[in-house]
Amino acid sequence: MRSKEIFQTVVLAFFAVLSVSALTASVQIPQPAGAPASTAAQQTAELEEDEKLDESFRKFGTAAGAAYQCTPDSEKEKLVNEVRRAYSRIGQLFGTDRAFFFATHFGRGTDASFDRARCPDLLKKIRESSLVRGLAN
């Protein structure tokens, strides 16, 4: 994969997670060597942003699990393959901890109660996610 494609995938994946979970997270820019050490407040803010991103993957997994409940039996295998693809991309782009959060909450979402009227919207958002469909060529 070329660096431009990797960058596009990371950006699209990040926005896909945000659109499904409705969370916003700011981009953290690493400090150059020799920069002053972070203050306690900055470190706390960075931890809070990490936790927000972690929570967005949890919500994305729960939404994907709920979408699984909405899927007819004849199409469940296709959705599971799409979820596996999203899991792999999350692991590659954001690390295995966040992929684990997504996977465990997917499992949890497959058995959770929710408003079935949301099924069409859930399925649409999951399938439109760049983590599921990848980049359009």
State residue 137's pLDDT score.
40
Radius of gyration of the chain (CA): 16
State residue 42's pLDDT score.
72
Domain assignment present for residue 28? The answer is: no
Domain assignment present for residue 30? The answer is: no
Using CA atoms, how far residue 6 sits from 27, 66, 89, 101, in Å, is 17, 29, 11, 22
How many structural domains comprise the chain? 1
Domain assignment present for residue 104? The answer is: yes
75: which residues sit within 8 A by CB, 6+ positions away?
none
Domain assignment present for residue 73? The answer is: yes
Is the pTM value of this prediction over 0.75?
A: no
Taking the mean position of all CA atoms in its chain, how far away is CA 115?
A: 21
State residue 25's pLDDT score.
39
Can you say whether the dihedral through the CA atoms of 127, 19, 87, 107 is positive or negative?
negative
State residue 29's pLDDT score.
43
State residue 2's pLDDT score.
61
State residue 73's pLDDT score.
94
Return the SS3 of 61: helix
The stretches in the chain having pLDDT less than 70 are 1-38, 40-41, 134-137
State residue 5's pLDDT score.
63
State residue 128's pLDDT score.
85
Domain of 62, in residue numbers: 3-23+46-132
